[in-house]
Amino acid sequence: MKILLAEDRQTTREILTNALVAAGHEVFAVADGQRLAEALSANVPDVLIAEVDLPGSEHEVLRQAIPRRTRRVIFLVPAGRPEVLKSNPEPDRIRYVMQPFESSDILKQLSLPADAGSAPAGTLFPNPPSGDGGPMTDTLSLGGKSAARWTFGEMVSESDSMRDVFSMARTLADHTAGVLIVGETGSGKSLLAQTMHARSRRAQRPLVRLSASSLPERDLEETLFGRMVSSGSGGPRVQEGRIEAANGGTLLFDDLDDFPASIQLKILDLVQTRSFHRPGSADLIRVDARFIAATKVAPEKLLQQGRLREDLYFSLVEVEISLPPLRERQLDIGVLLARFVERHGGGGTYDLDAETIDALKRYHWPGNVRELEGSVRRALALAASTQKLTRDMLLPNLTEASKLIPPESMQSVVERAEQDHIKRTLARTGGNRGEAAKILGISRKNLWEKMKEYGLE
């Protein structure tokens, strides 16, 4: 069969193309809506396989524009988008495949008879009922192999912000530049650093994570730099520290601001000279290691508060990578759920209803991705043989509405950002409205009107 494949994710496009060609089909692949439209106008395929959220194309418009001679249409639906399934005027012709899926699931759809509408458990949504296109129960089924628009090692995302993070991390992975990863607790800082190390030429040597959170200052110094240990008549012997263990590999200073000032000074010397003196010894020990640091708080704030040495910051950090919190990338909820069910679900298939999905997307996730994974593990344990993950299982302590992020219009988000920016600028200028207006690029009259509107007078 002649198959037209429209998928903007290069990896998914290549995997599906190879599988379809291996099965004896003729495949023409495109990556965006414009090229899809050009291909459809030039030739009528036997089968169209298209991503629902294809850049430059709208699902409803595309569905209506498909040539009648195209015998089978398969739409690839991202996790967390069950709303596109609410109506299907042609269930015998159009199929919906929900992520996560495998190439074999697509091949099965190609071989289905025209009246077949069932779907393999855990990978596909059954087709929505035909008829008046009325409401249906939105149920997300999770299980099998997960897929995502953007990946970096074990990290997955559907968000453009994380695409940029992955792109930068991939570029820097095999570089010698010092990197600072900034992100809230549980956002994936350590995993990002581990993946960068695994993709570098240092991957055959260890990545050593250094943390100051659980040790007193004296023990911390010996843990990092080692010590000389008395061995009786034989004289002192060397006990290596963790920094030496990273020789040839990568050193990750986790929560760099938690290190005491005296240790930060020693780390500064290490970064500048690539060497250190072990406590109790005059020997100079050289270290060949790549340096990565991580903080929960923006470095500007840490420097202002005196929690991070300025000279250490400028010596160590050449590039910063900011990991957005989970609450700012709700598109990732679905694909992360799929990944964690795949990882911890023992191969089972689990359903979530629309109310649960909505609650997960509106929850503020103070523990970020780590909290979501813990919630999935707990829910899987509670679900047992029911094969259903409910809101109470995933968010058992959700008793107050304040823990859910209320739906907001774009206008309200922009207005809040504008108000905050004006307040910060006024504070920076000591309340000087003329100077603030100049920085903001607006007239004093316009600034006065906005201050009045936001109650900032």
**Helix (H) or strand (E) segment spanning residue 356:** helix 354-362
Q: 384 — alpha (psi -120 to 50), left (phi > 0) or beta? A: left
In single-letter form, the type of residue at position 448 comes to: W
4 phi and psi angles, rounded to 5 deg: -105, 120
DSSP string, 176-215: ---EEEE--TTSSHHHHHHHHHHTSTTTTS-EEEEE-TTS
Q: Which residues contact 287 (CB under 8 A, 6 or more apart)?
A: 243, 244, 246, 247, 270, 274, 275, 276
Highest mean pLDDT among 10-14, 77-81, 174-178: 174-178
**Can you tell me the mean pLDDT for 40-57?**
86
Residue 147 falls inside a structural domain:
no
Q: Could you tell me the pLDDT band of residue 264, with boundaries at 50, 70 and 90?
A: very high
In a domain, 312, yes or no: yes
pLDDT at position 247 over 90: yes
**Contact criterion met (CB below 8 Å) for 197 and 203:** yes
Residue 310: the pLDDT is 95
Q: How many domains does the chain have?
A: 4
Residue 272 has pLDDT above 90, yes or no: yes
Return the minimum-mean-pLDDT range out of 80-94, 104-118, 296-310: 104-118
Averaged pLDDT of the chain: 82
Residue 38 tokens read as 């050009």
In a domain, 397, yes or no: yes
Same domain, 205 and 86: no
The model's pTM: 0.60
Question: How many residues make up the chain in this entry?
Answer: 457
For position 159, what pLDDT does the model report? 85
Q: Report the pLDDT value the prediction gives residue 408, as an integer from 0 to 100.
A: 55
What HEC string does 365-433 produce?
Answer: CCCHHHHHHHHHHHHHHHHHHHCECCHHHHCCCCCCHHHECCCCCHHHHHHHHHHHHHHHHHHHCCCCH
- Amino acid letter at 398? L
381, pLDDT greater than 70: yes
- 308 plus 386 within the same structural domain: no
Is 155 within a domain?
no
Q: Which of 74, 176, 173 is nearest to 124 (CA)?
A: 74
> CATH code at 193?
3.40.50.300
d(CA 61, CA 58): 5
pLDDT tens string 304-348: 999 999 999 999 999 999 999 999 998 899 889 988 998 898 888
For residue 126, what pLDDT is reported? 31
Range of the domain at 32: 2-136
CB 193, CB 206: distance < 8 Å: no
Lowest average pLDDT, out of 107-121, 250-264, 296-310, goes to 107-121
Q: Taking residues 114-119, what's their average pLDDT? A: 37
* Residues 185-224 pLDDT 10s: 999 999 999 999 999 999 999 999 998 877 777 788 888 9
Instruction: Examine residue 420 and state whether it is found in any structural domain, yes or no.
Output: yes
pLDDT over 70 (residue 113): no
- The CA R_g of the chain, rounded to the nearest whole Å, is 27
Residue at 168 is within a domain: yes
> Quick one: average pLDDT of 299-306?
93
How many C-beta atoms lie closer than 10 Å to residue 375's C-beta? 21
- The CA distance from 22 to 26, in Å, is 10
Domain end, chosen from 285, 301, 322, is at: 322
Q: Do 213 and 311 belong to one domain? A: yes
User: Which residues fall within 8 angstroms of residue 231, CB to CB, at 6 or more apart?
Assistant: 237
CATH at residue 425: 1.10.10
Mean pLDDT calculated for residue range 8-26:
84
**pLDDT score of 82:** 58
Which helix (DSSP H) or strand (DSSP E) does residue 20 occupy?
Answer: helix 10-22
What mean pLDDT do residues 104-133 have?
46
Same domain, 396 and 421: no
Tell which of 262, 292, 322 closes a domain.
322
Check pLDDT > 70 for residue 140.
Answer: no
Cβ neighbourhood burial of 440 (10 Å; 0-12, 13-18, 19+): middle
> Are 212 and 110 contained in the same domain?
no
Same domain, 378 and 419: no
d(CA 12, CA 135) in angstroms, rounded, equals 31
Rounded to the nearest 10 degrees, the angle between the axes of helix 261-273 and helix 217-225 is 20
Classify residue 232 as left (phi > 0), alpha (psi -120 to 50) or beta: left
pLDDT at 117 over 50: no
Query: Residue 453's pLDDT is what?
Result: 80
Q: List Cα–Cα distances, 430 to 134, 425, 427, 453, in angstroms.
A: 58, 9, 5, 20
